[in-house]
Structure 1
């Protein structure tokens, strides 16, 4: 699989999310500042609620902008067995039910699923429990991660 293409897909997805959030923030700001939403009495809170929404949308835009910057700075390197799994690794796992999973490990903030080369690839950050557990691992290593109240066991099959 081509990690460069995967990274490009992540960046495209994040850019689309940023644009959508930006439009939502603009819409919320327009609603909050529209003359029809000026409070007529102390119980009229539509303008205040719209302002809270606009503030939250603006924070979301900034978070996405920072995530996009961080992912753009990610440098993909070939797997080095001495380093083990690190950011930018494409990892193939086998779970306890003999299901194979592909994971693309990167900086935080971009949890998504992608389709690539006929496979579903889960993108996750190194701050996620599974991401943390994978750091430094090599093919053949076993990991156990608490998920949904129970431990999930995985074997690292391959790393690219």
Structure 2
């Protein structure tokens, strides 16, 4: 299995979530299960079943985060940026001008586990990221997106 790239910030965020799940969420759900058991018959105890379902979700998420962290290669974006020569590489924050819509948008290229479009964090495997990798400030890029081709101009490339 190949190691997946992940930014140091993304790894820190996952570690914080893991710590919360293990030290706060897991003990809470165990307590909720114990409380629900005290109510008697488990077959018709909705609180018990809900707590068990929550416990299952928490344990699954813990395993998912542990696997992601153990299979990832943590990359220091600022160190990579020093050697990138202004090119768009993993971890770069890229400001783009959307030619068709006449607006600017900023994305950071991150690993799959930390991608979140609401925070403008796009996966290295996304169509936009694949089109941007290796390009420099001032280049025009055509992204083949599911909704059709989109043209962007790279306004700036930062490694933060």
Normalised by the size of structure 2, how large is the TM-score? 0.63
- 1:129: how far off? 4.1
- Does the residue aligned with 1:73 lie in a helix, a strand or coil? strand
- Offset at residue 70 of structure 1 (A): 6.3
Q: State the shift of 1:138 in Å.
A: 3.8
Instruction: Tell whether 2:152 aligns with 1:154.
Output: yes
1:42 maps to 2:43: yes
Which sections of structure 1, spanning at least 5 residues, go unmatched? 1-6, 114-120
Aligned to 1:63: 64
Alignment of 1:132-151 (within 5 A): 132-139=130-137, 140-146=139-145
- Report the counterpart of residue 87 of structure 1 in structure 2: 90
Higher relative contact order (CA 8 A, sep 6+): 2
1:44–1:65 Cα change, 3 Å = same
Q: Which blocks of at least 5 consecutive residues in structure 2 are unaligned?
A: 1-6
Give the Cα–Cα distance (whole angstroms) in 2 for the partners of residues 108 and 89 of structure 1: 15
Count, aligned residues: 143
What CA distance in whole angstroms lies between the structure 2 residues aligned with 1:129 and 1:67?
22
1:6-155 equivalent positions in 2, closer than 5 A: 9-22=9-22, 23-32=24-33, 34-37=34-37, 40=41, 42-68=43-69, 73-76=74-77, 77-78=80-81, 79-80=84-85, 85-95=88-98, 96-112=100-116, 122-139=120-137, 140-146=139-145, 152-155=150-153
Q: CA deviation at 1:45?
A: 4.0
CA shift digits 1:31-52 (9 cap, x unpaired): 23x0533660533343233222
Task: State the distance in 2 between where 1:47 and 1:29 align.
Answer: 10
Q: Secondary structure in 1 aligned to 2:113?
A: coil
